[in-house]
């Protein structure tokens, strides 16, 4: 869909007078079988992406549109107006330069930020000065940053040591998942996760715990994995000793 012509101020006074006349007359379209609605596409957007407030069930014989930030018609919060016949956009007090009104009334936001989160109101003006209003909601979420892993020790001894892996992230309101050798981690009876999944404790380690660990953080619109962390597990035999279960507790036989 091609955007309409660039913002223009020609005819701005006429359109503002038309909006004023509509507000003074306070005429509204009678209820119809299909009510004017506004849909956010996508419903949940990441910062830096484009979002369309898509309009459904427009009435017929339209003259133009006016978009407002907030849940009501407020001239001080007007984003822009659009005159259908001339295909002209006239910026309002809160126009940021990132908004485009299409001929079907839909409003495109480019490069959205979390400050764009909120309600938006569309006022539709017909050629006989009837007005209909619809309100929609825009939700913008931040993209999570890459986390990192911190280990209490990366070289441990089986049957003897415990290790604590911590997923470090500066983001809030996220979910954390752990991976082992590029697969989702299956917890054993020796493993314990913190309530928020931010730390993984293995006590005590076994040789099968050796490998590469990752954590992934995610929110409703994005996810990111940490770099790999390698855990090395040595045996007590290599350390010059044996696990108590493997020791021979019987005294050695005398040579003579």
Greater model confidence, 12 or 229: 229
Residue 29, pLDDT score: 44
The rounded mean pLDDT for the chain is: 85
Which CATH homologous superfamily contains domain 12-141? Immunoglobulins (2.60.40.10)
Q: 53-57, 85-89, 216-220, 245-249: which has the minimum mean pLDDT?
A: 245-249
User: Given pLDDT bands bounded at 50, 70 and 90, which one contains residue 16?
Assistant: low
Give pTM, 2 decimals.
Answer: 0.67
**Contact predicate 134/122, CB 8 Å:** yes
User: Given pLDDT bands bounded at 50, 70 and 90, which one contains residue 213?
Assistant: very high
pLDDT in tens, 146-163: 999 999 999 999 999 999
Show Cβ contacts of residue 170 under 8 Å, excluding neighbours closer than 6 positions: 145
Residue 27, pLDDT score: 42
Beta bridge partners of 121: 68, 135
User: Given pLDDT bands bounded at 50, 70 and 90, which one contains residue 101?
Assistant: very high
pLDDT in tens, 189-209: 999 999 999 999 999 999 999
CATH architecture of 148-234: Sandwich (2.60)
Beta bridge partners of 119: 137
Greater model confidence, 225 or 250: 225
Positions of CATH 2.60.40.10 in the chain:
12-141, 148-234
Q: In this model, does residue 241 exceed pLDDT 60?
A: no
Greater model confidence, 31 or 139: 139
């Amino acid at each position: 869909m091609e955007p309409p012509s660039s913002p223009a101020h020609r005819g701005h006074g006429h359109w503002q007078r038309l909006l004023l006349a509509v507000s003074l007359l306070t005429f509204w379209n009678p209820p119809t079988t299909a009510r004017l609605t506004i849909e956010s596409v996508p419903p949940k957007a990441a910062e830096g992406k484009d979002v369309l407030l898509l309009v459904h069930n427009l009435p017929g014989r339209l003259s133009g549109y006016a978009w407002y930030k907030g849940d009501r018609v407020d001239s001080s919060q007007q984003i822009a107006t659009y005159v259908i016949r001339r295909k002209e956009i006239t910026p309002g007090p809160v126009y940021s330069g990132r908004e485009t009104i299409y001929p079907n009334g839909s409003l495109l936001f480019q490069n959205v930020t979390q400050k764009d989160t909120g309600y938006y109101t569309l006022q539709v003006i017909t050629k006989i000065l009837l007005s209909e209003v619809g309100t929609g909601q825009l939700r913008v979420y931040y993209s999570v940053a890459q986390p990192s892993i911190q280990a209490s020790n990366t070289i441990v001894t089986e049957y003897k040591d415990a290790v604590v892996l911590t997923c470090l992230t500066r983001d809030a309101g996220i979910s954390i998942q752990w991976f082992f050798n590029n697969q989702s981690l299956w917890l054993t009876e020796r493993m314990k996760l913190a309530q928020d999944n931010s730390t993984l404790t293995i006590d005590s380690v076994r040789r099968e715990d050796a490998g590469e660990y990752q954590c992934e953080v995610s929110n409703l619109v994005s996810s990111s994995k940490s770099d790999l962390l390698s855990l090395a597990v040595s045996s007590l035999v290599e350390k010059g000793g044996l696990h108590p279960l493997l020791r021979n507790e019987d005294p050695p036989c005398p040579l003579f």
